[in-house]
Structure 1
Amino acid sequence: MTYEGRKQGTKQLINITHKAPIAIDPTSSIFFFPTTSPLRPQCIWFSHEHVVSYERLDSKHTTITFRNRQTIDIAVSCSSFENQLHRTSFLKTKLIQRIEETKRKSFYLFTDANGVKASEVISKYIPR
């Protein structure tokens, strides 16, 4: 799937079009979000899974701490960074819910009322 396709998926699921987070691989929990418009050269993409904490440095700067304990200071307000992190969490939740719902539907589609998988049911033809 392309970047544009992933942006469209985000729009359909959570109705976000600007600075949209994207799902790279939902089953492996790989979600990224931009700090500003992806069209701007100063845009930085962060992996949702690797952000451990963040804190306000001043009104226009935030310090991010990653799982590997490294930190980075970025020229983005703390509230903007937090908003992007929350949008990504929302996308992640919605995608996981959809995956689980699809699994549930598939389970019931391929299982009969007694819990036996339909593909395992063998009926024998008995001529009369």
Structure 2
Amino acid sequence: MEVRGQYLINEKTVMMTNEYSNREEVWTKVIEGEETFLVKKAPTDVIVESLLHVGSNFLGATRSLKYLYSPMRIRPISVDPQKGILLFPTKNVKRLSCIWFSLIHVKNTKPVGGSKTEVSTSFGHTILLDMNESCFITRWNKALELKARISKHLKCPIHFYVEPIQDFYISKSSNGNNYTL
């Protein structure tokens, strides 16, 4: 798998998750369009750099969310409001099993058993999560609501994204630390 030193979140970023390197360092596995690669930084570091490149920062983005919402434990974050790029985590961002989804790429969900959820995204990818569907939908809806509030204030046009056909099925590996394709 390709390894990159840095990465900026963009319109094709579907999701990011923690990945252990061979040296047990926390890196980021990125699915961007039809590509999958690793970045030698933790997902929150990738988000921080991406925010800096659009003239924002992590503290400002989280303060903005607190202003628009009452405090919440698990927060979506607007990376580039002009392009409609907003990410939301599946769990507390300090947990290694957290996945960051790009709002524009989540298409639908399906419960699997009692406590798992399949999330379908753009490019035909399907991600199996260790969380129930209602919990995921709550986080997804909070992200949709944040995007609507930001768009209203910015008076941004609605963005449409056309995807090519490609698919992956992503699930947790047998060791329970990393996700596999």
Q: TM-score range by the shorter chain?
A: 0.7 to 0.9
Aligned AA for 2:75?
Answer: A
The number of residues matched between the two structures is 101
**What letter matches 2:97 in structure 1?**
Q
Contact in 2 for aligned 1:56/1:78 (Cα 8 Å): yes
Distance, in Å, in 2 between the alignment partners of 1:61 and 1:5 is 33
Taking the aligned partners of 2:144 and 2:134, their CA distance within structure 1 comes to 15
Q: Determine if contact 1:54/1:64 at 8 Å carries over to the other structure.
A: yes
Q: CA deviation digits over 1:9-58, x for unaligned, max 9?
A: 11111224311001001110100000010111111100010011111112
Q: Say yes or no: does 1:35 pair with 2:90.
A: yes
Q: Which runs of 4+ in 1 moved over 4 A?
A: none
Offset of 1:5 from its aligned partner?
2.0
Query: Over aligned residue pairs, what C-alpha RMSD do you find?
Result: 1.4
Q: Which runs of 5+ in 1 are unaligned?
A: 102-128
Code of the aligned partner of 2:145: F
Structure 2 distance, partners of 1:36, 1:77, is 12
Match of 2:116 in 1: 61
- Superposed displacement of residue 100, structure 1: 2.1
- Give the secondary-structure state (helix, strand or coil) at the position aligned to 2:123: coil
Does structure 2 retain, via aligned residues, the 8 Å contact 1:62–1:76?
yes
SS in 1 for 2:60: helix
Contiguous gaps of at least 5 residues in structure 2: 1-55, 157-181
Does structure 1 residue 72 correspond to structure 2 residue 127? yes
Alpha-carbon distance between aligned partners in 1 of 2:108 and 2:71, rounded to the nearest angstrom? 24
Higher-helix-fraction structure: 1
Which residue of structure 1 lines up, in the alignment, with residue 151 of structure 2? 96
Equivalent position SS for 1:76: coil
Quote the residue 2:79 is aligned against: 24
Question: Is this contact kept in 2: 1:33–1:47, CA < 8 A?
Answer: yes
* 1-10 or 60-69: bigger deviation: 1-10
When normalised by structure 1's length, the TM-score is 0.74
Matched, 1:87 2:142: yes
Task: State the identity as a percent.
Answer: 26
Q: What amino acid does structure 1 have at the position aligned with 2:144?
A: S
Task: Say whether residues 1:50 and 2:50 are aligned partners.
Answer: no
Separation in 1, partners of 2:143, 2:74: 10
Contact 1:32 1:46 in 2 (8 A): yes
